[in-house]
A = this chain, B = another copy of it.
């Protein structure tokens, strides 16, 4: 796989969704919609809205996969509608059911189009076929083994990102870009059964940014209110992210700027310990080479480096 930016669009954006619009991973803390613009300089990116960082992107498609079979589609709809039914009025919803009013059906017409629109899976989540997996490591030079469900495969892809942190936590969370992608396809006959493939398997590229110096933040399964959860990796990773944000604020960043950094820069989110009841230990690896100043701790304490405007709050079209 190879991919790149379009020559005439040497920029991208990172979006935080408003809480009423679905929000992001830390939406309770950042309920407003915000958008930061990231300019591209060859392999690097910088943002007028998030000063002090400059990093090499790991470009990748957020979304890629083969068409599901009718059977698999039915299973998706059944299980997701089942989940929605447990709390149907929730905002945001527990899952995104088919929505005929927004479906794009390509060349389908008439009854076939009507049927498809009524049951077509939305592209929001990752599923068995891949889909919106948002794996930041799936960059040029990678090789992916997708399960094939229908004759012809129906491989499609999109949602190109210039860079993303593990978790894509700001939701529209990577640096979204206009780009091209080039792939070579071959087939392993009966590969799904040969290799017990349920979800895609992939081999990453030998060409990736090598940021080796990190500050690593831990989080455990105790939430912001002090409540203890049972082996909850989601709560733990949220705490690790919040801990990193509080740390970065000591250097002058606003919370939203720090949040944007975690969404866009090549941070790693690891599940470090997941068996020691009741706390999962999640770790967030923040590469320190991406900062234009020294963000390491020292005995004297932090010197605020950033002292600018925050990322502006956006209106959004309800």
Contacts and interface: CB of A to CB of B under 8 A. Distances in A.
Interface in A1-17: 1-2, 4
Interface in A167-198: 167-171, 173, 182, 184, 186, 188-191, 194-198
A299 B194 CA distance: 9
Contact of A210 (B191, B212, B232, B270): B212
B95 A128 contact: no
Tally of this chain's copies: 4
A54 to B, nearest CB: 11
A282 interface: yes
A20 interface: no
A32 interface: no
A297 B145 contact: yes
A239 B199 contact: yes
Interface stretch (A41-49, A100-108, A150-158, A308-316): A41-49
Interface residues of A, number: 120
A196 B297 contact: no
A281 B196 contact: no
A228 B128 CA distance: 12
A110 interface: no
Interface in A191-216: 191, 194-216
Interface in A123-146: 124-128, 130, 132-137, 140-141, 145
B166 A272 contact: yes
Contact of A279 (B125, B269, B285): B125
Contacts of A21: none
B273 A56 contact: no
Q: Chain A contact residues: over half helix, strand or loop, or mixed?
A: loop
B135 A283 contact: yes
A136 B195 contact: no
Given A135-B216, A145-B297, 17 more contacts: A79-B227, A83-B228, A124-B276, A125-B279, A126-B220, A127-B222, A135-B272, A137-B216, A188-B299, A195-B297, A198-B246, A200-B218, A204-B216, A210-B210, A211-B212, A233-B271, A269-B270
Across chains A and B, which 5 residue pairs bring their CB atoms closest together, nearest first?
Answer: A2-B42, A134-B273, A196-B246, A233-B233, A79-B228
28 contacts: A24-B275, A42-B184, A43-B205, A56-B205, A56-B207, A79-B227, A79-B228, A80-B228, A80-B278, A83-B229, A94-B230, A125-B276, A135-B283, A166-B272, A188-B297, A188-B301, A195-B301, A198-B246, A199-B220, A201-B247, A202-B215, A203-B214, A206-B289, A231-B234, A233-B233, A234-B274, A237-B271, A269-B272
